[in-house]
Structures are given as C-alpha cells and as structure tokens.
C-alpha cells in the first residue's frame, strides 16, 4: 500500500468573528459568558443550578453525567460503525453514566467492552427496528387514537403510543404494517402532543400566521441566521425580532413530514452569537454539537417558560400532531409550553436540537419532543456558530500530527477494515459486506490503495425502499479521502477497482 501522508479532511464549522445564538442582538439585562461563569469542563454554573432544581443532582453529579454523555455520544457512534449490522443501539443506564450497547452477535461484545461500554445481546439490530418503524410510518392510515411510535433500543422493540382503550387499535396498526407482535410494545398515554407556539405578542420573535401573529423561540445561531422549528413559519415568511424590528426571512421549513425544522436568514442588523438565553439574566455557552445518547441529561430554554432540565427518553420517534405526523423526533421528560417552540436544547455546552411539541405544562409536567440539530445542519448545509470550546466537530480541530513511521493517516481513524480485490472492475462492500447505522454528522473516510492500482471509494445511504444510493465518492489517482455531511440513516462504503488489484486499508468514522 502507499504510505505517503494523507490529509484526512474534516468538515468543521468555524465562526468568523463573534459567535451566537439566542438573542440577535443581545437581550438587555443578560450576562455575557466569560471565564468566571463557566466551570471546568465548559459547563455553565447556571445550567448546573437548573439541573439541581429539576433533576436533584448536585454540581459534581451533574458535571459527571454531562461529561459521560459527551463521551458516550462519540463512543456509540464509533461502535455503530465498528459493529456494522450487528449494532442494536446504545443508551445510558438509569445512573446516567453506564453506557450500554446492544449487539446481535456475541462476537461483537469484545469491541463493546474494549470501548468501555457494557454489551447487551439482543435479537434485533437497530437497522431492523428502524425498518419496522418505517413500516409504521407508511401505514399510519386512520388510527386516530394512536399518537406516535418510536424505537426503544433498551427493550429492543418498537413502542406504539396509544390513548386509553386503544391498545387493540395499536396492535392492529402494527399487524397491518407487517410488524410482528413480538417486536411491538403498546404504551398507553392520555397525552395528545401538539406544536408549542402561541398566537400572542411576546418575546423573542414573531411570524405572521393566519391573519395574526405567532410567537416562537430562536434555536441556535448558524452562519447567516438561526435554526428553529419548521412549524414556526413556511418558506418566505418574514420574521420580526423581540424588539419589533425586522429580523429576517424563513429560507427553509419542513413540517409536518420527515422533520420539524426551519432556518431563518437574518438581515445585517442581527449578529449571530454562540449563546443561549436562560431567562435568568445569563447566557449559556454553545461550544459544539456532540449528540447525547438516550438516558443523557438535557436542558432546554424557551421564551415562555425559561430553562428546564430532564432526561432523553427515546430517539427517532414519530409523533402524530393535529397537523400531521412528524418523524425522527427525540422524546424527553422535560416540560414546555406554548411559545417555547423552536427553542434550544443543550447537554452541557453541546447543542442537541430545537423544541417541536409536546403535552402537559411546566406546572403539572409532561413530555416534550425536539428536532435533532445535526439533522437540520446536514439537510440545509448550515454551520453552527460556537464559542470555540470544542466538542462535536464544531470547533477548529488541532493540527494533524504526521503519521508515525510505518503507518498512514488511515490508521488514525477508529474503525478499520482491510480487504483485497483480485480483478479490475470488482468491488467490495464495507464494513464486512454489510452496513452500519449512523447519526447525523460528518462521515470521514480514508482509503490506502495498493501501489500501482486505482481504487475508488464510494459512500452509499439506504433509502426508505431499502435501496442504497451513492451520496459521496472519491476517485482519481492515488489514495483517497472522503468527507460527507449526512443525515442519520444506514450507510455503507464500497471500494471499487478502477484499475489494478491488491490489498487495501479503509479507515472511517462518523463525528
């Protein structure tokens, strides 16, 4: 193989100038985050105080859980790629620190243990559970008393949420969709989720809707504007800021359907900055976007209720709102109310998503769903504005060190596969002839080809019909590097011999 150094590119977001988010410009009466207002590890003491109030955690416990969540997010993404089609999902246990990883093959448990996680042997892979959920998405029909469904990796089943007395309707829906009863659990709930916007005047930003004015909350700052919920304005809708001044225009909006996501491009009067307003006179820093796993602690802020904290309960949930079903949401036990829609969710200083909807309120409690942030960034090719505190590929990476003697840059990537192609025109699928589940984020890959051969590297994503479609490729002479910002889904690499034969090395990861 060729052993010359390879510059493995990483798609990172770098903010020029001042970074930001919640208020554009700053809200009067808020405190700019500085070195004295951030604890070791980048966690604001104001966020720790909210976690103590809502979750009963002292400062050390909260910091430990947040640090463990960030670690677990990276480890679970690597293990998903490393174990391929055997991966059954990952979650933090009730203690908030023990990472459990489900696998369908006992041979994969060694990799899980080596990563510092606890393996759990299960019958169904995460890809199989997602396929079952996709069948439910397509067969929703007239099941009016079924309010949603999601993959529960901890129980290795798909959970269908139904109103009281509608268990048989939920089971019929699963049967009609072709999902076996052994893979389904029915959860009974009186809650009826709804989008969380109010038609009333209040801080922080407004849209014209139905002849009136609706209020939503800004999510996170991105280069050129901010992200928010899709139901907070259709494309072309003009927005007004908290100060009643013209703010921007909704450039992208999806709701209902595959997401509840929106992007507002702001005018030159508004400066995106990397903070979240906690409505207690403080601005919480946004340092990155490492996705936290199920079981992680998470906090949200909104213009109606301020900041509240809780736990991530499930991912990839389909929620049936009165306006239609939305797929791919994350379920939490955090409360929210009207006007909080679009607001930001943080795990420590790592951005997680924007508020979509829920049930209940912050007096009686309830459940709230958020749209994952990384899906919004990947779909709309947006750059998160951060404080430069690191995490999630959102800050400038350190300069790469030159490869050690006898190695190449592919060795630095955590998932390694080797193979050999015996004739020109042949191809091999990796990992191990299968595929792997990936969250939304940056796919980074490196292919070291044999001397004198021309091998191409192709990245493919599985669509809703089960077909793999090419989303990125690296070709030309020599060794290859590839980066791709992708949505969550099932992916695979294909190594193709354009000319020549021999052994190759493939390194890859998702950040």
Q: How high is the mean pLDDT in each 10-residue block of the chain (511 residues)?
A: 31 25 36 47 84 94 93 92 94 95 96 96 95 88 85 96 93 92 94 59 65 86 93 93 88 96 92 89 89 96 94 95 94 94 94 94 93 93 79 35 51 92 94 90 93 94 87 90 92 94 93 77
What's the CA gap between 199 and 80, in Å, rounded?
43
Q: pLDDT (tens digit, 9 = 90+) per residue, 446-493?
A: 999 999 999 999 999 998 778 899 999 999 888 999 999 999 899 999
Report the residue count for the chain: 511
pTM of the entire predicted model:
0.81
Residue 260: active-site member? yes
Of 69, 76, 341, 497, the catalytic one is 341
Q: Return the pLDDT at 504.
A: 95
Of 260, 278, 340, 456, the catalytic one is 260
Q: What CATH number was assigned to the domain covering residues 126-188? A: 3.30.300.50
Q: What CATH number was assigned to the domain covering residues 409-510? A: 2.60.120.380
Q: pLDDT (tens digit, 9 = 90+) per residue, 198-221?
A: 332 224 799 877 677 888 999 999
Q: Return the pLDDT at 8.
A: 28
Residue 341: active-site member? yes
Residue 443: active-site member? no
What's the CA gap between 73 and 350, in Å, rounded?
11
The DSSP letter of residue 86 is: G
List every span in the chain annotated with CATH 2.60.120.380: 409-510
Of 231, 356, 456, 479, the catalytic one is 231
Q: Return the pLDDT at 197.
A: 44
What's the CA gap between 174 and 131, in Å, rounded?
12
Q: Return the pLDDT at 141.
A: 67
Please name the residues in contact with 83: beta carbons below 8 A apart, sequence gap of 6 or more.
Answer: 101, 103, 105, 108, 111, 112, 436
CA-CA distances (angstroms) from residue 16 to 264, 350, 383, 397, 433?
A: 19, 19, 11, 15, 42
What's the CA gap between 461 and 481, in Å, rounded?
18
The Cβ of residue 410 has, within 10 Å, a number of other Cβ atoms equal to 25
Count Cα neighbours of 313 within 13 Å in the Cβ-side half-sphere: 16
Q: Are strands 350-361 and 306-321 parallel, antiparallel or unpaired?
A: unpaired
List every span in the chain annotated with CATH 3.30.300.50: 126-188
């Amino acid at each position: 193989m060729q052993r010359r150094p390879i510059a493995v590119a990483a798609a990172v977001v770098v903010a020029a100038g001042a970074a930001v988010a919640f208020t554009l410009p700053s809200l009067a009466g808020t405190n700019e985050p500085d070195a004295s207002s951030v604890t070791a590890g980048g966690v604001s003491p104001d966020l720790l105080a909210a976690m103590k109030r809502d979750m009963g955690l002292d400062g050390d416990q909260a910091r430990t859980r947040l640090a463990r969540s960030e670690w677990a997010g990276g480890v679970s993404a690597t293990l998903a790629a490393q174990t391929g089609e055997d991966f059954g999902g990952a979650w933090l246990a009730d203690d908030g620190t023990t990472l459990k990883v489900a696998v369908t093959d006992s041979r994969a448990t060694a990799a899980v243990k080596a990563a510092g996680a606890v393996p759990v042997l299960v019958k169904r892979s995460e890809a199989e559970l997602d396929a079952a959920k996709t069948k439910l998405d397509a067969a929703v029909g007239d099941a009016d008393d079924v309010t949603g469904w999601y993959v529960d990796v901890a129980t290795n089943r798909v959970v269908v949420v139904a109103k009281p007395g509608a268990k048989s309707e939920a089971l019929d829906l699963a049967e009609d969709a072709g999902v076996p009863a052994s893979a389904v659990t029915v959860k009974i709930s009186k809650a009826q989720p709804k989008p969380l916007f109010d038609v009333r005047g209040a801080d922080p930003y407004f849209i014209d809707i139905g002849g009136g004015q609706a209020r939503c909350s800004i999510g996170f700052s991105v280069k050129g504007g901010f992200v928010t919920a899709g139901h907070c304005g259709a494309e072309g809708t003009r927005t007004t800021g908290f100060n009643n001044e013209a703010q921007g225009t909704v450039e992208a909006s999806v709701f209902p359907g595959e997401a509840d996501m929106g992007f507002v491009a702001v005018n030159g009067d508004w400066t995106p900055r990397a903070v979240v307003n906690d409505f207690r006179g403080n601005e919480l820093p946004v340092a990155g976007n490492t996705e936290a796993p199920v079981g992680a602690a998470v906090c949200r802020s909104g213009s109606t209720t301020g900041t509240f904290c809780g736990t991530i309960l499930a991912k990839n949930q389909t929620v049936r709102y009165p306006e239609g079903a939305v797929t791919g949401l994350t379920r939490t036990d955090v409360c929210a109310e009207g006007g909080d829609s679009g607001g930001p969710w943080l795990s420590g200083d790592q951005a997680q998503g924007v508020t979509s909807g829920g049930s209940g309120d912050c007096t009686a409690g309830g459940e709230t769903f958020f749209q994952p942030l990384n899906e919004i960034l990947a779909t709309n090719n947006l750059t998160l504005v951060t404080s430069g505190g690191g995490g999630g590929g959102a800050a400038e990476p350190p300069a790469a060190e030159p490869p050690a003697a006898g190695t190449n840059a592919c060795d630095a990537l955590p998932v390694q596969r080797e193979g050999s192609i015996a004739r020109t025109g042949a191809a091999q699928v990796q990992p191990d002839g299968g595929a792997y589940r990936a969250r939304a984020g940056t796919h980074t890959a490196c292919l070291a080809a044999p001397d004198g051969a021309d091998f191409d590297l192709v990245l493919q994503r599985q669509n809703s019909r089960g077909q793999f479609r090419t989303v990125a490729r690296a070709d030309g002479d020599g060794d290859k590097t590839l980066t791709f910002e992708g949505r969550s889904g099932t992916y695979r690499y294909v190594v193709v011999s354009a000319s020549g034969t021999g052994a190759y090395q493939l390194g890859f990861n998702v950040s």
